[in-house]
Amino acid sequence: MSELRIERRYPVTPEYLFAFVTEPANLVQWWGPEGMGIGKADLDLRKLGPWSLVLTDPSGGSFEMRGKVLAVTPPRAVEFTMNVPGASTDSTVRFQIAPDGTGSRFTLIQSGITDEMVAMGQRGWGSTLKRLEKLMGIAPPA
């Protein structure tokens, strides 16, 4: 199994960033690659336990994602399992947030995936993080 790691630096406080990556009202606005919507969601990364959502694409297709929040350490980290379409087991995703000068360093780590899924994850999470950056009013990294 392999691991995907994506790191970004944002000019916001860890508390502000943590709210955007964990609170339901924010999550439903940025979760999923660009062009995707959320049809139904039970997604709150601030509390331990199960989560689920239905991602919809512009053509009307949809698929359900689910997992379980394993750990929450405000405003530093949240860790959860996530099913990956086509995978036989769930992966584990960790959002880590650390102070970085006047802003924050955000690190996404997804483990328990194949090498092929790392490439798919880079595209999917990269697109998803662009949505987060747009929502926060931050220019994506070059």
pTM of the model: 0.92
Whole-number pLDDT of residue 81: 97
Q: Which residue has the tokens 């950056």?
A: 133
Whole-number pLDDT of residue 62: 87
Residue-wise pLDDT tens for the chain (142 aa)?
A: 789 999 999 999 999 999 999 999 999 999 988 889 898 899 999 999 999 999 998 888 888 889 999 999 999 999 999 986 666 779 999 999 999 999 999 999 999 988 888 888 899 999 999 999 999 988 766 5
Does residue 46 contact residue 27 with C-beta atoms inside 8 Å? no
- Give, rounded to a whole angstrom, the gap between the first and last alpha carbons of the chain: 29
Does residue 2 contact residue 118 with C-beta atoms inside 8 Å? yes
The strand pairing partners of 41, in sequence order, are: 53
Whole-number pLDDT of residue 61: 86
The strand pairing partners of 55, in sequence order, are: 38, 63
CA dist., res. 47 & res. 33, Å (int): 24
Strand stretches in 11-125, DSSP E: 37-42, 49-56, 62-73, 77-82, 91-100, 103-113
Burial, 126: exposed, middle or buried (Cβ in 10 Å; 0-12, 13-18, 19+)? Answer: middle
Whole-number pLDDT of residue 142: 58
Structural domains of the chain, ranges and CATH numbers in brackets: 2-135 (3.30.530.20)
pLDDT digits (tens, 9 = 90+) for 27-59: 999 998 888 989 889 999 999 999 999 999 888
